[in-house]
Structure 1
Amino acid sequence: MKNKKILFEYAFKPIIYFIISLVIGGSIIGIIYFKLIDMYMNSYAKIPQVIINVVNEFLYAKNNYIGDLIYIILILLITIPIYIIFMKKKIESISEIINTTNIMANGDLNQTIQVVSKDEVGQLGNNINSIVSQLRNITIEERRAQQTKTDLITNVSHDLRTPLTSIIGYLGLIEDDRYKDEVELRYYTTIAYEKSKSLSILINDLFELTKMQNNTISLDKIDINLVELLGQITEQFKYEFKQNDIKGRTDFSEDKLIINADANKLVRVFENLISNGIKYGKDGGYIDIVTRKQDNMAIAQIINYGEQIPSSDLPHIFERFYRVEKSRNRNDGGSGLGLAIAKNIVELHGGNIKVESNSSRTIFEVKLKLI
């Protein structure tokens, strides 16, 4: 670096800042500042012109600002009322939801939230309505199950107590030698025996029905010709038809109607249905046993022409211990479980059973899948 000179040059440019505060209502709402360099400051003689230019720029900015401010105020004046109205509706909807859910929380599940919108509040109302509907259905089912349980206990207790009382009573007479002769003794023992058989039937039926409903019963399925099976069952009822002054008529299809089923269980079904027809339809004079093919289903109908089953009783006809004649005594040899057992057997085979009744006839129809 010896004998070398380093020269530094400095160039200075005058710079002036103008700062202007924007004040409205005594408050500063903004600041405008201008930086002026030599584009305005080539000479001091131009300072007045510079000041004029600055003032003009300020006035232009001020006018633009006021215009924007007015525009913003107008927008707010339009949007704020709309927003208030919109929010008021939402608040009213939310208040209705709160009031309705408070009523629901106190146990009244029959309330429904009136949904008037499709937004989030409306969706919330729909969701609550759906949940309450499910809770209502669950509550109804629980009450029905509880009532069924209560009825079952009542009916079982009654049906067990009635034959037991008779058995104990007649055996007590025999134990105390309170009979005139051998004929009366045999009469007492016969009644006690018949009552014990009724009791055994009831217990066995109840046990079998419970196993069916718990899916703990097995089916011994084989290929069966339903027409032949019903023909054999009808033949077995000839004596009962004659005893009750009923004519049994058959109308079997020409098709064989082969099904895969447990023969003994199906015999139980149709014996119950025919016995039921004899018991409650003997005034009609006829029992018809009909079969036919419909698509891939075998259809069997047991038809009697007795008294019509009331429409209010039809939905309950297959329930345990349900009796159409509420005042009818239970000394008819049945357990009150026959139709319930028939329904469960048919459903275990993947079929269905239904009943129709009018003033002229009552039809029990069984549908089973053909193979």
Structure 2
Amino acid sequence: MKVKIAGIQTKFFISFIFSLIASFCIFTAVYSTYISFVSQKYPYKFQNYNYSLGRLSRISSDVSLNTSGVNFNNNSKYKSVLSKYEVKYSKYKLGFIVTDPQNKILYNSSKLAGNTSLEKTYSDFLKYFNHTMNITMYHDYIYKTPIKTGNDISILWITASPINTPHDSIGTLVGDKNILILLSICMLIFFIITHHRMKYINEMCCGIKTIANENLNFKIRQKGHDELSEISKNINFMADKINEKIENEKKIEVSKNALITNVAHDIRSPLTSIIGFLQIIDNSEYESKEEMQRFINISLKKAETMKKLTDNLFMFTKLNGGDLKLHLSTVCLNELIYQLIDEFSITFENSKLNIVDNICAENIMVTIDINLFVRALNNLMYNALKYSIKPSDVNVSLVQCDKNVLISISNKCKNLNIENVSMLFEKFYRADKSRTNPDEGSGLGLSITKSIIEKHNGIILANYDKDTITFTISLPN
């Protein structure tokens, strides 16, 4: 049995997460390779200093805060306060320039050229940084903050050289264009991963369309262990059930047509005879009263045949219509069969048939509809009476077998092929095809018997061996 491992919703979610991760890894690898390759030819094209500038801004704020309360009234103060920053942030080439209100340089540890205009450099830096917020090429960093020098307020210029760091390379991945590319790769991977499931869904749709076009023998391939495979299984099951119902409807239609044809044939023959004899009587074309009485007797017999046929037909339709209710009561089956044997004994003796009974001594109690069950046994006894080789024995037995009761009636007969045994319970079937006279039987007796036994949750079987036919009824006890 197939076990559901993960639902289709879970699979699609996992596929999406995998596609997202895979697309990021692929894009990062490809983008890094591209930058590495192009940067060899254009060294400054992909340089980015955002992280460095942010770091330098925080350093400048820290310097400004720590120098706000210091009075740089001699040269030793400059070195004692500022040199520690120069050493700590040497990778940024951190330097300091102190100018008095008259722009005279009081201290200079910066790496800037001596003729550099500090105000212009500062103005250019602010202008570029404030407008772009993104340094994509080398640019000097400069920052100014007021400090106290004796009795004056001077300016401390902080200079540095931003450097390109790994943080900045990762930062270049962020951007509308790159995000669009990343999502495109993600969608492509997701499409590739889910392609086989979508292909299977399309296959299912085509299969459903094929089944809808009345090709009910078509089967949708079951694939996987999720909801889609369950849907395919249920659709195939539904198609089989519909096909089975259609076949049953066809059989019912054929059966109905056969029923009408056979009933019409079996009624027409005696009815034709009755009409013919009554016309003779009506036209006074008989030669004597004895001949008239003979015609009346024949017509009466034919009418009784028609009544028997219509009774059997009525019982058959009731049994197969599903609206028949059983009137159950508990009886002793031994006594019921003995009574049946007594009723048929004289008739069988007149036909040179001897009933041999083999009834168990223990009383067997069963719950049955007495009228229907007796009718089923009567049909079997009449069948034995009609088709037995004469003279011969008819064996009737009753035994208890585990939780079932077995009733069997066997008799010797001829002109019965082994392959015909399974057909005996079919309606209108006659073992002897040459017997077309409805007086010989309607062909409904054994079919009615089978239906009655099945209504009692039992089964009836026929077995033919060495010119002996045996009908066995098995009832739950």
- The TM-score normalised by the length of structure 2 is 0.60
CA contact (8 A) 1:343 1:352 kept: no
Corresponding residue for residue 266 of structure 2: 159
Structure 1 residues not aligned, in runs of 5+: 1-21, 69-74
Question: For residues 101-180 of structure 1, what are the structure 2 equivalents within 5 Å?
Answer: 101-180=208-287
| Secondary structure in structure 1 of the residue aligned to 2:439 | coil
Instruction: Tell me the alpha carbon deviations over residues 315-361 of structure 1, each in whole angstroms, 9 at most, x when there is no partner.
Output: x543443444555303334333222332343344x341311323333
Letter paired with 2:464: N
Instruction: State the percentage of identical aligned residues.
Output: 26
Corresponding residue for residue 44 of structure 1: 96
1:161 is displaced (CA, Å) by 1.7
Corresponding residue for residue 196 of structure 2: 89
C-alpha distance in 2, partners of 1:327/1:85? 73
1:115 is displaced (CA, Å) by 1.8
1:283 is displaced (CA, Å) by 6.8
Letter paired with 1:272: N
C-alpha distance in 1, partners of 2:203/2:96? 75
Q: 2:359 aligns with which of 245, 252, 267?
A: 252
CA contact (8 A) 2:460 2:471 kept: yes
CA contact (8 A) 1:284 1:306 kept: no
1:353 equivalent to 2:459? Answer: yes
Instruction: Tell me the alpha carbon deviations over residues 106-159 of structure 1, each in whole angstroms, 9 at most, x when there is no partner.
Output: 211111112232234333322221221121112112222222222222222222
Choose 129-138 or 225-234, whichever is displaced more.
Answer: 225-234
Q: 2:307 aligns with which of 197, 200, 203?
A: 200
C-alpha distance in 2, partners of 1:54/1:169? 132
Q: 1:336 aligns with which of 443, 454, 463?
A: 443
Structure 2 residues not aligned, in runs of 5+: 1-31, 39-44, 64-94, 98-108, 113-139, 142-158, 175-181
1:217 is displaced (CA, Å) by 5.2
| Secondary structure in structure 1 of the residue aligned to 2:59 | coil
C-alpha distance in 2, partners of 1:306/1:363? 10
1:303 is displaced (CA, Å) by 1.6
C-alpha distance in 1, partners of 2:279/2:406? 51
CA contact (8 A) 1:289 1:300 kept: yes
Question: For residues 1-371 of structure 1, what are the structure 2 equivalents within 5 Å?
Answer: 32-33=50-51, 34-35=53-54, 36-37=56-57, 39-40=59-60, 42=63, 44-45=96-97, 55-56=162-163, 58-62=164-168, 86-214=193-321, 221-282=328-389, 285-307=392-414, 308=416, 310-311=418-419, 314=422, 317-326=424-433, 328-348=435-455, 350-360=456-466, 361-370=468-477
C-alpha distance in 1, partners of 2:413/2:172? 96
1:86 is displaced (CA, Å) by 4.6
Aligned residue pairs total 338
C-alpha distance in 1, partners of 2:402/2:192? 62
C-alpha distance in 2, partners of 1:124/1:32? 56
CA contact (8 A) 1:318 1:343 kept: yes
C-alpha distance in 2, partners of 1:128/1:109? 10
C-alpha distance in 1, partners of 2:302/2:344? 23
C-alpha distance in 2, partners of 1:187/1:232? 35
CA contact (8 A) 1:221 1:263 kept: yes
1:165 is displaced (CA, Å) by 1.0
| Secondary structure in structure 2 of the residue aligned to 1:251 | strand
Instruction: Tell me the alpha carbon deviations over residues 204-262 of structure 1, each in whole angstroms, 9 at most, x when there is no partner.
Output: 22223334445655655554322222122223323443444433221111111122334
C-alpha distance in 2, partners of 1:295/1:250? 21
1:271 is displaced (CA, Å) by 1.2
| Secondary structure in structure 1 of the residue aligned to 2:438 | coil
CA contact (8 A) 1:284 1:304 kept: no
- The TM-score normalised by the length of structure 1 is 0.75
Distance 1:130 1:353, change over 3 A: closer
C-alpha distance in 2, partners of 1:47/1:152? 118
Letter paired with 1:44: F
| Secondary structure in structure 2 of the residue aligned to 1:332 | helix
C-alpha distance in 1, partners of 2:463/2:368? 28
